[in-house]
Amino acid sequence: MNFDSFEQPTISIPSNIPCFHASLGTVEWQRAMDELKEIGATFLTLWGSDDRYPDDCDRDRCFSIHAAFLLPEGALVLSHKIDAIANPTYPSLVRAFPAAARLERATHDLLGIASTAPDQRPWHRHDAWPANHYPLRHDNLEPRTTNLKPTPYPFVQVEGDGVHEIAVGPVHAGIIEPGHFRFSVVGEKVIRLEERLGYTHRGIAKHFESATQADGHRIAARVSGDSTVAFAWAYCAALEAITATACPTRATYLRALALEHERLANHLGDLGALGNDAGFAFGLTQFSRLKEDLLRANVETFGARYLFDTIIPGGVAADLSQPAYAHLVYLYRMLDHEATGLRTIYDNHGGLQDRFREAGHLSRDLALQLGAIGLAARASGIAHDLRADHPWAPYDTVATEVVTETSGDVAARVQVRFREIFESLRLCRALLAELSHTSVDATPIKVDLPAARSGRLGIGMIEGWRGPVLIALETGPNGQIRRCHAHDPSWQNWPLLEYAILGNIVPDFPLINKSFNLSYSGQDG
Amino acid sequence: MLNTLARMIRTGILTEPWPAAVTVPSAVEALQQDLWKILGRALSIRHVDAGSCNGCELEIHALNNPYYNLEGAGIKFVASPRHADLLLVTGPVSANMEEALRRTYDAIPDPKLVIAVGDCGTCGGIFGTSYATRGSVANVIPVSHTIAGCPPTPAAILGGILQAATVRVGA
């Protein structure tokens, strides 16, 4: 991969998809952002690291900022060194990639390195720890003061005749994750929405630093519970790439089966909830029943309803039992049949379609501009799916069809889910057929990983049900983790909701919000 | 419309018997009667996510599916703590949710029950105590019952809720 703005050629780094890396100076960094924007790169993530290791001679004793992008050739990771002076600063990405804004604010909260962007409000830090405590700095001790008086968060004010604010959250009226929404409305119409998230911040990045490489997948699995398979696989893919370990073929099929089951479970659940939010409780009953059937099949096949810790470094925790094959064949046929019938009912229900169509509209242009990713992007006509664009094992053996819709409204996000269910079921059948060809006893499902050299950076990227999940893993000495950054696609897609809601009425917010169904915990970290 | 009705009839009633915590055949009816006697209405639950990974939420959601049919036992989730008898809390209590959790707890009228759901809520789980988490629900508000598991199954959550309600009603 070569770029005009880079002085050095990029080098290949370990990953499950083609991945390249370059270290850039300040001017190069700024030029690179413009060039990447120009060629239509997709912004993936941003993270910082504290490289001021006094005992480590291969370090430059500085901070680093890293940004990852997706291009047709693969992923590109750029690193930029920042001198460890009093107020370390780096050139902001926001002008070229607006999706980086919240990540830059979060990076400042965790590491004390600031971007040059105008918005410097804290993101993860809600005054529960002091402003001068940067958790990811190695020389920072645990804060003593914990009961700080919260300062009010300066939401952007909308002024004018008849404008009033509705504050919602962090505790919501339902079984939902916490987050705050500030609506500015005139009558029923929303003229501005501002999100404030970070309530479920658990210090994931800090926890990784005290974990070993061998058990880091357990933390990755708990970044966002509904995407546990995607995160655990991304972590394992990064570690396996760093140690040049090939996961056994049978284990890759089992991993993909688990990932598709996760996609199915979430899509089924969402379709039910979307029907319910539009006043069609029948949909919730039917789909929640199908989801429960799938989860119960998971118990028989993988030994758990939700597949926490099913994927482990080097392979998977358990193989399918013999009776599972027949059960799964039956399950896929049943789900296919039922989902087809329910789709007809949804499509032909006038009241439901009236709520779905044109609600929460996000045009393709705006989606591209904001850096939309995953399912939400596909519903606005952006055809990206890692399983098809950069297939890793075993997706290189089963061709995946990228599902896109063009209308960009709630109806489109409903249709993408329906069609992805059928595509996912097709993949499940193909994966199951491959699994039934190889004997359970003769094939290993796990290999041991050799020790990883210290200071190696690896990237794991998996297309979860919501979009691409990314793990950037840097190894430390003695099997430790020096830095691990877990990125959920919700980071990019939360800001989409602020635009999709504009001009809609407040009562449509739950429906529009659900059509994106973004993760709070995945974004909060 | 006919298609929808036909599907409803074909699906039938899927609700299953209650879990082991209330095995006596008439236990559900007895519980309903007790709830009625004490409260004069359904048992109302408020849920607060205090830093969960959303795994526990998925399983709490499942309680409302037709197999478990929580509302069938006269137990329902409510939108306001002011309407609640029981608080269901998940997560290792993130520092950012500590204040909101306390306020929700304070807003529930006495007498109130608190159940910590999941390994995180019970003992901090994989996250424990750090700059960002308080370690367990009991470190922040008084907890009457705990339901372990990562995440606990709907049957376990249902069993825990029924047990807490029965003890409360019986007390």
CA separation for the pair A173, A373 (Å, rounded): 28
Q: Do B11 and A291 touch (CB under 8 A)?
A: no
Strand-strand pairing, A315-316 and A457-463: unpaired
> Is B141 a member of any domain?
yes
Which pLDDT belongs to residue A14? 97
| Domain-located, residue B24 | no
Tens-place pLDDT, residues A335-346: 999 999 999 999
Q: How far is CA B80 from CA A173, B47, B48, B90, B104, in A?
A: 7, 9, 11, 17, 9
What does the alpha-carbon distance between residue A229 and residue A309 come to, in Å, rounded to a whole number?
A: 8
Q: Which residues contact A351 (CB under 8 A, 6 or more apart)?
A: A278, A279, A280
Closest CA to A414 of A276, A289, A225, A521: A276
Which member of B92, B96, B151 has the closest CB to residue A128? B96
**One-letter identity of residue A110:** L
State both tokens at A97.
């990639």
How far is the alpha carbon of B133 from chain A, nearest alpha carbon, in Å? 6
Cβ separation of A519 and B48 shorter than 8 Å?
A: no
Question: What average pLDDT score do residues A5-29 get?
Answer: 92
Identify the residue with better confidence: A221 or A147. Answer: A221
B43/A214: higher pLDDT:
A214
pLDDT of residue A225: 96
Options 3.30.460.80, 3.40.640.10, 3.50.50.60, 3.30.70.360; CATH of A11-115: 3.30.460.80
Out of B7, B125, B131, the one facing A142 most closely (by C-beta) is B131
Instruction: State the pLDDT at residue A252.
Output: 96
B135 lies within 8 A of chain A by CB: no
Judged against a pLDDT cut of 70, whether residue A144 lies above it is answered with no
The sheet carrying A163-168 orders its strands as A163-168, A180-186, A189-196
Domain-located, residue B111:
yes
Give me Rg for the CA atoms of chain A: 23
Q: What is the pLDDT of residue B168?
A: 62
* Mean pLDDT score, A359-375: 97
Digit-coded pLDDT (tens) for A253-274:
999 999 999 999 999 999 999 9
Are the C-beta atoms of A124 and A525 separated by less than 8 Å?
yes
pLDDT tens digit string along B25-81?
A: 455 566 666 666 666 677 899 999 999 999 999 999 999 999 988 887 788 899 999
B153 occurs within a structural domain: yes
Instruction: Supply the DSSP symbol for A512.
Output: H
Domain ranges of chain A: 11-115, 204-524
Three-point CA angle A169, A171, A177, nearest 5°: 105
pLDDT at A392 over 90: yes
Average pLDDT, chain A: 94
Number of separate domains in chain B: 1
Element of type H or E holding A102:
helix A101-111
CA-to-CA distance for A70 and A67, rounded, in angstroms? 10
- Six-digit token string for B52: 């969960």
- Count of positions (residues) in chain B: 171
pLDDT the model gives residue A50: 93
**pLDDT tens digits along A18-53:** 999 999 999 999 999 999 999 999 999 999 999 887
Cα separation of B5 and A279, whole Å? 16
| pLDDT (0 to 100) of residue A309 | 94
CATH number, domain with residue B118? 3.40.50.12280
Q: Is the CB of residue A136 less than 8 Å from the CB of residue A142?
A: no
* Beta-carbon separation of B133 and A202 below 8 A: yes
User: Going along A245-291, which residue ranges are E strands?
Assistant: none
Q: Residue B68: what pLDDT?
A: 87
Domain that holds residue B145: 41-170
Say if B33 falls within a structural domain.
no
Cβ(A234)–Cβ(A471) below 8 Å: yes
d(CA A151, CA A126): 8
Name the amino acid, one letter, at A103: L
pLDDT at position A437: 83
pTM above 0.90, yes or no: yes
In a domain, B27, yes or no: no
- pLDDT higher than 90, residue A440: no
CATH classification (class only), A204-524: mainly alpha
Model pLDDT, residue B12:
86
Alpha carbon distance A101, A462 (integer Å):
23
Structure confidence by residue, pLDDT tens digits, B110-161: 889 999 999 999 999 999 999 999 999 999 999 999 999 999 999 899 888 8
Q: Does residue B50 lie in a domain region?
A: yes
First-last CA distance in chain B: 49
Q: Which residue type, as a one-letter code, is found at position B139? A: N
pLDDT band, very low/low/confident/very high, at A236 (cuts 50, 70, 90):
very high
**Which tokens go with B95?**
């520092």
Is residue A456 very low, low, confident or very high in pLDDT (cuts 50, 70, 90)?
Answer: very high
- Residue numbers of B between 59 and 98 with CB closer than 8 Å to A: 59-62, 64-67, 77, 79-81, 91-92, 94-98
Beta bridge partner(s), residue A81: A64
Of all residues in chain B, the one with the smallest CA distance to A299 is B153
In the three-class reduction of DSSP (H, G, I as helix; E, B as strand; rest coil), residue A293 is classed as helix
B125 assigned to some structural domain: yes
Mean pLDDT of A59-81: 92
In terms of pLDDT, which residue wins out, A363 or B76?
A363
Nearest Cα to A453, choosing from A473, A478, A472?
A478
pLDDT band, very low/low/confident/very high, at A3 (cuts 50, 70, 90): confident
| Residue B5: closest C-alpha in chain A | A282
Rg for chain B (alpha carbons), in Å? 17
My answer on whether omega of the bond before B81 falls inside 30° of 0, hence cis, is no
Q: Which residue has the higher pLDDT, A60 or A164?
A: A164
The 3 state secondary structure assigned to A118-143 is: CCCCCCCCCCCCCCCCCCCCCCCCCC
Put simply, the answer to whether A200 touches B67 (Cβ < 8 Å) is: no
The confidence band for A59, taking pLDDT boundaries of 50, 70 and 90, is: low
* Rounded distance between C-alpha atoms, residue B13 and residue A262, angstroms: 26
Residue A137: per-residue pLDDT: 92
Residue of A nearest to B87 (CA): A175
According to the model, what pLDDT value does residue A55 have? 57
The per-residue pLDDT for A277 is 95
Determine the average pLDDT of the residues in A272-283: 96
pLDDT of res. A149: 75
CB–CB of A225 and B104 under 8 A? Answer: no
Using pLDDT thresholds of 50, 70 and 90, give the confidence band for residue A276: very high
Question: Taking Cα atoms as reference points, which of A388, A416, A126 lies closest to residue A267?
Answer: A416
B131 and A143 within 8 Å at the Cβ level: the answer is: yes
> Are A133 and A202 in contact, with CB atoms under 8 Å apart?
no
- Nearest-by-Cβ selection for B130 from A206, A226, A282: A206
DSSP count for chain A of H helices, then E strands: 16, 15
| Angstroms from B24 CA to nearest CA on chain A | 25
